[in-house]
């Protein structure tokens, strides 16, 4: 096989393997995320703690921002 063809084939294989690995990692991330949320929602104490954390942080994203600077701030996360 010509060297240029070998290089092109190797590059194509590398691109395909990289795409497959990216897809695998993406799917695995979201599966693990879904499992973690499932565990959270099945534990009332953990869910209550999460809700309390979210309430404590509610509105903090708007710290220092104002309508004068073009931001619409409603105070909720």
Q: Is residue 39 part of a domain?
A: yes
Q: Is residue 12 part of a domain?
A: no
Q: Is residue 73 part of a domain?
A: no
Q: Is residue 6 part of a domain?
A: no
Residue 6 scores a pLDDT above 80: no
Number of structural domains (the chain) is 1
Residue 53 confidence (pLDDT): 92
Rounded to whole angstroms, the Cα distance separating 43 from 71 reads: 37
Taking each helix axis as running N to C, give the angle between helix 3-42 and helix 44-57, from 0 to 180 degrees, rounded to the nearest 10: 100
Q: Which domain holds residue 40?
A: 23-52
Q: Is residue 35 part of a domain?
A: yes
Q: Is residue 45 part of a domain?
A: yes
25-63: per-residue pLDDT in tens?
Answer: 999 999 999 999 999 999 999 999 999 998 888 776 666
DSSP 8-state class, residue 75: S
Q: Is residue 33 part of a domain?
A: yes
Whether 50 contacts 39, CB under 8 Å: no
Residue 23 scores a pLDDT above 50: yes
């Amino acid at each position: 096989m010509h060297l240029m063809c070998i290089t092109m084939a190797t590059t194509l294989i590398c691109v395909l393997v990289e795409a497959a690995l990216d897809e695998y990692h993406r799917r695995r991330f979201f599966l693990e995320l879904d499992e973690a949320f499932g565990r959270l929602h099945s534990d009332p104490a953990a869910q209550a703690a999460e809700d309390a954390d979210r309430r404590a942080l509610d509105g903090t994203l708007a710290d220092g921002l104002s309508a004068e600077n073009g931001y619409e701030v409603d105070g909720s996360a």
